[in-house]
Structure 1
């Protein structure tokens, strides 16, 4: 249903449309909360495409090649063999269909197989229940809680720290067979 492929610098209008919707960026990067113009988004995308410490992938529908989001691993440490998972599904009509879980599994697989990582972590806001469930289905385990670490809708929310380790992922992959 989906495929992960490189992003392109001409895709800024799609990102701009997504981040203009407060519901889409509610639990996303703080940078998305601050960008308002297409020019700001284009500059962010240009810098994102140049980032050598991140795996940045577009989420495309396989039949049509429509860009519906982006995901990857940021802050990759070659020494620690670790990175931080992220995802933004910008096209709301595809929410709740298991795409987030599928994308998460594919990116984690690339992180362990292609990048040789040992640990992939993430943070997720507690009110983002769908995200928490998708991450758990993809093998992430709760590590801890960052108290009142996220400010949205005039209130502070806790963020959960979750991770998956290479050996856990390998064991789960073998069990799934």
Structure 2
């Protein structure tokens, strides 16, 4: 259904629409909450492409090559063999269709196999129940809570810290998928 491709400058256009939709950005980066102009989005996108310790991949439909989101690993530490997983599906028509699960599996595989990581972590808003279920299904384990770490629509809520270790990932194999 989807494939991952290196995120390129020509992929910026869909972000203009996505980042102006409050429903799409509700559980996303705090920076997305304030970006509204094409210039702000261009600046963020260019900076994202320049990050050396990150893996930024576009999520494209196999049939049409249309970009529907992006995912990857940020804060990759070669010293600690760790990174932070992220995913953003901007096209709402693909929410709840298993795209996030498939992409998560691919990115985690890349992190452990190609990037020699030992630990991949993420944070997810406590109110993002779909995300919490998907990450648990993917083998991520809750390891903590960041109290009132996120404010959306004037309401504070907790962020849940989850991670998966290479040894755990290898043990579960493809059974979870």
Q: Superposed, which structure 2 residues align to 1:3-22 within 5 Å?
A: 3-22=3-22
Question: How far apart, CA to CA, are the structure 1 residues paired with 2:71 and 2:175?
Answer: 26
Q: In 1, are the aligned partners of 2:139 and 2:176 still within 8 Å (CA)? A: no
TM-score where L is the length of structure 1: 0.97
Question: How far apart, CA to CA, are the structure 2 residues paired with 1:8 and 1:26?
Answer: 24
**Cross-structure match for 2:76:** 76
Shift of the 176–95 alpha-carbon distance from structure 1 to 2, 3 Å rule, reads: closer
Q: In 2, are the aligned partners of 1:149 and 1:158 still within 8 Å (CA)? A: yes
Q: Superposed, which structure 2 residues align to 1:34-49 within 5 Å?
A: 34-49=34-49
State the shift of 1:132 in Å: 0.7
State the shift of 1:11 in Å: 2.0
Paired residues, number: 177
3-state SS, counterpart of residue 24 of structure 2: coil
TM-score where L is the length of structure 2: 0.97
**Cross-structure match for 2:59:** 59
Question: How far apart, CA to CA, are the structure 2 residues paired with 1:39 and 1:174?
Answer: 42
**Cross-structure match for 1:144:** 144
Question: How far apart, CA to CA, are the structure 2 residues paired with 1:130 and 1:173?
Answer: 23
State the shift of 1:175 in Å: 5.2
3-state SS, counterpart of residue 159 of structure 1: strand
Shift of the 16–167 alpha-carbon distance from structure 1 to 2, 3 Å rule, reads: same
Shift of the 174–91 alpha-carbon distance from structure 1 to 2, 3 Å rule, reads: closer
Question: How far apart, CA to CA, are the structure 1 residues paired with 2:40 and 2:170?
Answer: 40
**What is the CA RMSD across the aligned residues, in angstroms?**
1.3
Q: In 1, are the aligned partners of 2:137 and 2:176 still within 8 Å (CA)? A: no
Question: Which runs of 5 or more residues in structure 1 are unaligned?
Answer: none
State the shift of 1:174 in Å: 6.2
